[in-house]
């Protein structure tokens, strides 16, 4: 599933939020978005998801225009948004349940891979924050949509849990490589996870830089300690600093 955004613009009254963004996610690609707070990253996801309609430009999935159309992407927010009255297994199959007959065997397989097999009959209040995020990601994977939009899913986690979640996400994603568009505030997270990174400017938002991440897959935590990783992190940091300082 490929995503192509061309000349995208969105304003709210006199407030211009997004201005002429061009962006692409190729089939099976993992793309990250970095940008200062208030730069319209979440607005961009709302446009892709059809919750908002662009003022100008087009959004295409596999070359079909989807402006203002809902239900074509899978979305994972910062908050895992699990239903407290449903078991973990029932939460995992929810998206598939709404669109088609859920595959309980596949759901159980992914829960086992996530180390959550013994919790399938448990309820969300019995899980830690990292465990809830695993459940939310499995739910997104089980949806019929082949484009996943992840909106800072690990930002509320502590550093060690976050690193473990990043490694786990990559291990799961490597199995079928759904196309992913991932919003984050962390340069390290973007570099560790993504094939390409878009750095956004301050509002009204445009693409300030596009970086191809040169590191081979699969990626290990030791990558974070290499000189190549540090130098690229510093380059992106300078892009971000320019936007905050202006």
Q: Give 81-125 pLDDT, tens digit per residue.
A: 889 999 999 998 887 777 667 778 888 988 888 888 899 999 999
SS3 sequence, 194-231? CCEEEEECCCCECEEEEEECCCCCCCCHHHHHCHHHHH
Task: Flag the least confident range among 11-20, 50-59, 87-96, 187-196.
Answer: 87-96
| Residues 76, 42 contacting (CB under 8 angstroms) | no
Q: How far apart, in whole angstroms, are the C-alpha atoms of residue 70 and residue 243?
A: 32
Amino acid 26: pLDDT: 94
Roughly what angle, to the nearest 10 degrees, separates helices 129-142 and 104-113?
140
What is the DSSP-derived secondary structure letter of residue 240?
Answer: H
In angstroms, what CA-CA distances link 34 with 121, 188, 240? 37, 11, 8
The sign of the torsion formed by the CA atoms of 26, 30, 34, 40 equals positive
- pLDDT of 4 above 90: yes
On average, the pLDDT of the chain sits at: 88
Residue 245: its pLDDT value, please?
Answer: 60
Bond preceding residue 218 cis, omega within 30 of 0: yes
**Cα distance from N-terminal residue to C-terminal residue, the chain:** 37
State the pTM of this model: 0.88
**How many whole angstroms separate alpha carbon 181 and alpha carbon 9?**
18
Q: Answer yes or no: is pLDDT of 246 > 60.
A: no
Per-residue pLDDT band for 202 (boundaries 50, 70, 90) equals: confident
pLDDT value at residue 40: 79
pLDDT at 21 over 90: yes
For residue 95, the model assigns a pLDDT of 72
**How many angstroms separate the most distant Cα atoms in the chain?**
53
């Amino acid at each position: 599933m490929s995503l192509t955004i061309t000349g995208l613009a969105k304003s709210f009254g006199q407030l211009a939020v997004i201005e002429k963004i061009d962006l692409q996610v190729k089939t099976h690609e993992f793309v990250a978005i970095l940008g200062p707070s208030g730069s319209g990253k979440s607005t961009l996801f709302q446009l892709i998801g059809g919750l908002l309609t662009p003022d100008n430009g087009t959004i295409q999935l596999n070359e079909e225009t989807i402006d203002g159309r809902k239900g074509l992407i899978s979305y994972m927010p910062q908050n895992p948004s699990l239903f407290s009255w449903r078991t973990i297994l029932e939460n995992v199959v929810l998206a598939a349940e709404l669109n088609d007959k859920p595959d309980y065997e596949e759901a159980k397989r992914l829960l086992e891979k996530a180390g959550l097999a013994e919790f399938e009959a448990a309820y969300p209040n019995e899980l830690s924050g990292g465990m809830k995020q695993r459940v939310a990601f499995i739910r997104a994977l089980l949806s019929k949509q082949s484009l996943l939009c992840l909106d800072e899913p690990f930002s509320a986690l502590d550093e060690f849990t976050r690193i473990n979640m990043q490694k786990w996400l990559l291990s799961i994603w490597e199995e079928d490589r759904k196309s992913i568009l991932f919003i984050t505030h962390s340069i390290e997270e973007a570099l560790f996870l993504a094939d390409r990174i878009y750095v956004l400017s301050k509002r009204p938002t445009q693409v300030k830089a596009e970086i191809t991440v040169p590191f081979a897959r699969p990626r290990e935590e030791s990558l974070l300690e290499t000189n190549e990783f540090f130098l690229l992190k510093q380059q992106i940091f300078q892009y971000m600093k320019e936007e905050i300082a202006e």
